[in-house]
Amino acid sequence: TQLLEQSPQFLSIQEGENLTVYCNSSSVFSSLQWYRQEPGEGPVLLVTVVTGGEVKKLKRLTFQFGDARKDSSLHITAAQPGDTGLYLCGIQGAQKLVFGQGTRLTINP
């Protein structure tokens, strides 16, 4: 059983469209992180959300932590080909980082 369930696992959309990806769990977390990984590279931390209901913006990316701190979403506005990559949510478990399965996003020009 996956601690973190990400959906969708694959998403392919046209440039300019909006999208939302989700990270869900039945457990409560003190914080949650979102990463983006491009092909052949390591993951890069985008944001850490800590407070229930928290919303953080990073240019066209909006991250939200659920009120109950069990889930999170990432919304991208006006997607661009440069947004293509694997988006991973992760939580800090017992001295280790646990990742969801990831959402592989492709933005077509």
Partner 1 sequence: GAVVSQHPSRVICKSGTSVKIECRSLDFQATTMFWYRQFPKQSLMLMATSNEGSKATYEQGVEKDKFLINHASLTLSTLTVTSAHPEDSSFYICSAEGAVLTDTQYFGPGTRLTVL
Q: Which residues bind partner 1 (CB under 8 A)?
A: 31, 35, 40-45, 48, 86, 88, 92, 95-102, 104
CB of 47 to partner 1, least distance (A): 12
Q: Which residue, 11, 16, 1, 9, is CA-closest to 89?
A: 9
Gap between the Cα atoms of 79 and 17, Å rounded: 6
Nearer to partner 1, 44 or 78 (CB): 44
Determine the Cα angle at 17 with ends 16 and 23, to 5°: 130
Nearer to partner 1, 11 or 86 (CB): 86
In the complex, minimum distance from the CB of residue 42 to partner 1, in angstroms, rounded to a whole number: 4
For residue 45, the minimal CB distance to partner 1 (Å) is 7
**How many whole angstroms separate alpha carbon 91 and alpha carbon 31?**
7
- Alpha carbon 35 to its chain centroid, in Å, reads 6
| CB-nearer residue toward partner 1: 32 or 107 | 32
Q: Which two tokens stand for residue 36?
A: 């983006």
Q: Which is nearer to partner 1, 66 or 102 (CB)?
A: 102
Smallest gap from Cβ 64 to partner 1, in A, equals: 20
